[in-house]
Amino acid sequence: MSRAIKKWTARDAKKCIIIPSDLDHKYSRGVLGVITGSAQYPGAAVLTTSAAAATGIGMIRFHSSSGLAHLVLHSTPSCVVQPGKVTAWLIGSGIPSKKYSDVTSWLRHRWFVLAHKQNVPTVLDAGALNLAGSLNQPTLITPHSGELSALLTARGLPVSPEAIEGDPKKWVRTAAQTLGVTVLLKGSVTYVANDDVLIELPAATSWLATAGSGDVLAGIIGALVATNTIEILNDINRLAEVAATGAFIHAQAAKIASRGGPISAETITAQISGAISQLLK
């Protein structure tokens, strides 16, 4: 029997926004550990952290060398650049997938070991997708069709990006079952799946096809995962719901920024807070 598709709505998304109480503090609101950006793609570090901050979170811990840290602090000075306890991880955005392609990539991959040391809900993007299935904690991956094609092919299930784009519902479910993780498959229509859930997002504006947009999405989702850690640990389906909510907010922020015209990753980030405010009304 085919799995029923849940069409994600604003009402659904609102349920995943954790509103802080009078008793909350920066640690109780969620701490996101971020390992993103590289010498090749330094902007990813800036975009993921700025998007996470705009989404609302207690603290962001950015893990990197001093060069990337300086860029991040210039954009988001509230980030902490010292390792410490986190409630969720965001790993891989803007980091090449080939660990030994150059020294700087190798240095960035060395940080990935932290995900094994703090078993908290984890979001894997871009260069960290190969960790899918190797972690003990609830794990979400956020590939586009090309990345998912490469990942599944490497795991013995050859499939082309075109085949995935032709039947995304089939392949997002197949990936979730094969890899044992929650999968958010990016596209003009985004899908989220695990063993029990299949969620379809509303079609987003085509202006979202722009550099850095995926990094912004990763930052939004990372922040939401960090604030929903307890809920995710109590119900693995919550991770799929949080991922869908992140994609929903991302699309709404893009819609507000666009007003029918071109947008950039930076203008999307600037509208995240407004998109969340609309959800909470």
Tens digit of pLDDT for each residue in 121-134? 999 999 999 999 99
User: CB count, 10 Å around CB of 29?
Assistant: 18
Do the domain assignments include residue 121? yes
pLDDT at 103: 80
pLDDT at 67: 86
List 123's β-bridge partners, or say none: 90, 140
pLDDT at 235: 97
Q: Is the Cα dihedral 19, 193, 236, 154 positive or negative? A: negative
pLDDT at 65: 74
Alpha helices in 102-212 (DSSP H): 103-110, 114-117, 145-154, 161-166, 168-179
Do the domain assignments include residue 36? yes
Do the domain assignments include residue 227? yes
Token reading at 129: 């997708």
Do the domain assignments include residue 65? yes
Domain total of the chain: 1
Q: Long-range contacts made by residues 173-180, C-beta under 8 angstroms, separation at least 24?
A: 173/3, 173/198, 175/141, 175/143, 175/148, 175/151, 178/152, 179/132, 179/133, 179/141, 179/151, 179/155, 180/132, 180/133
Do the domain assignments include residue 20? no
CA distances (Å), origin 258, targets 52, 188, 207: 20, 16, 7
- For residue 44, give its domain range: 6-15+26-280
What phi, psi does 191 have (nearest 5°)?
-125, 145
List the chain residues with pLDDT less than 70. 1-3
pLDDT at 1: 38
CA-closest candidate to residue 222, choices 40, 13, 83, 30? 30
> Residue 218 in contact with residue 125, Cβ under 8 Å?
yes
CATH number of the domain within which 118 lies: 3.40.1190.20
For 255-266, give one letter per residue: b (16+ CB within 10 A) or e. Answer: bbbbeeeebebb
pLDDT at 2: 54
